A and B are shown apart, each in its own frame.
Chain A
Amino acid sequence: MILPPQPPPAAPAAPPSIVTIFAVFARIGLLSFGGGLSGWVFREVVVLRNWISEEEFLSGLALAQILPGTNIANLSVYIGQKLRGVAGAAAALGGLLSGPFFAVIALASVYDRFRNIPYADAAMDGVAAAAIGLLLIIVLRGTRHSARRPAGAVALVATFIGVGVLHVSLLIVVAVVGPLSVLAAWLGGRADA
């Protein structure tokens, strides 16, 4: 599949203000119905605002998934830290959680009525499926990025099959594939030099 051309990397501008970081992540938190939050973050932070590069996003995504904690919370901390240090990380995480915090309690208060709306579950499933489409954009970009090196492609496929198809524990897969993949990248980097 042919992807649209990437915009040229912009020169690093002044980092956004704390208020802006909070506002952007609050929007991500509130708009992210049906999951797919990483997709929203990618869109808002990389595609629309160019706050961090695609490479940095992918490396942060890997860290966010490997470390304990909700992926999206970790990703927000990672991006906030890069933009404005401690205050940036706190603003990103606080923004991300503040809207959904109240929304989930509000929804719980009206849940019994909501549940009786006909086809409410079908609608939710449809929204969730469409939200996956947003995630698939990252999968596609990340695959293209990783497949530049044969070892990267192998690591990607091995991780996916191990966790997604064979249902091997994530910890084991990461502990086996991770170091091998890093070693391959290190040897590859030395060969280039």
Chain B
Amino acid sequence: MRDDNVLIALVAVFVPLSFASIGGGTSILAGIQHQSVDVHHWVTSREFVDMFAISRAAPGPGSLLTTLIGWHIAGWAGALTATLALYVPSSLLCYGVAFVWRRHRGKVWHTALEEGLAPVGVGLMMAGVLAIMQLSGGGVLPWLLALGTMALLLRWPKLHPLPLFFLGGVVAVIVRATLS
């Protein structure tokens, strides 16, 4: 397949997924896997799982998985194309909504929307936290690390989170090494 065709295929796959990713990147994970493994044979199942692990270990949003798929099949051009195809369409939509949203600030219905949607957003975030906690092997330790970090940040809000994250990693390694 010529490179141009691959790039067009990447756009054709990821632009619809961009609009389908309601609730964040994890909601289209199954769709990405189906398209890139089963339909287009861009990557094998094994490669897909590895890429997922890499995208979680790297900084940034987890959906950079698509960047890796693009890179895998078409180098830098593929990486860039896949990334833009996934992020630009949903961002344009968000921009439009945010623009309209702000123009009506202060009106009664706007205030009601804002007040009414905020608890839904917080509830979704709580559900997301629970999902991640269940994904990360479960057990009491992740909760202790999360609550401990939260408590330290509440007490000292300007504390830099990175040393706390490092501490979390060190504690997890010590506990794992002690138990095994």
Contacts and interface: CB of A to CB of B under 8 A. Distances in A.
Contacts of A19: none
B177 interface: yes
Interface size class of B (residues with CB under 8 A): 35 or more
B123 A130 contact: no
A188 B97 CA distance: 25
B68 A104 contact: yes
A170 B124 contact: yes
Given A126-B170, A126-B173, A137-B154, A185 B64 contact: no
**Is chain A's binding surface mostly helix, strand, loop or mixed?**
helix
Interface string B142-158: 11011111111111011
Interface residues of A, number: 104
Contacts of B51: 108
A75 to B, nearest CB: 9
A13 interface: no
Contacts of B177: 119, 122
Interface string B127-147: 111111100110001110111
SS class, residues of chain B in contact with chain A: helix
B31 interface: no
A47 to B, nearest CB: 6
Contacts, number: 362
B67 interface: yes
A181 B164 contact: no
Contact of A129 (B56, B145, B152): B145
Given A100-B58, A124-B57, A134-B161, 6 more contacts: A63-B101, A74-B90, A178-B117, A182-B113, A184-B116, A186-B112
Interface of B: 18-25, 27, 50-51, 53-64, 67-68, 71, 79, 83, 87, 89-91, 93-95, 97-99, 101-102, 108-109, 111-133, 136-137, 141-143, 145-155, 157-158, 161-162, 164-173, 175-177
19 contacts: A62-B117, A65-B24, A68-B19, A68-B21, A69-B21, A69-B91, A69-B93, A73-B87, A93-B91, A97-B87, A104-B67, A129-B172, A130-B146, A137-B150, A159-B119, A164-B127, A174-B124, A178-B117, A189-B112
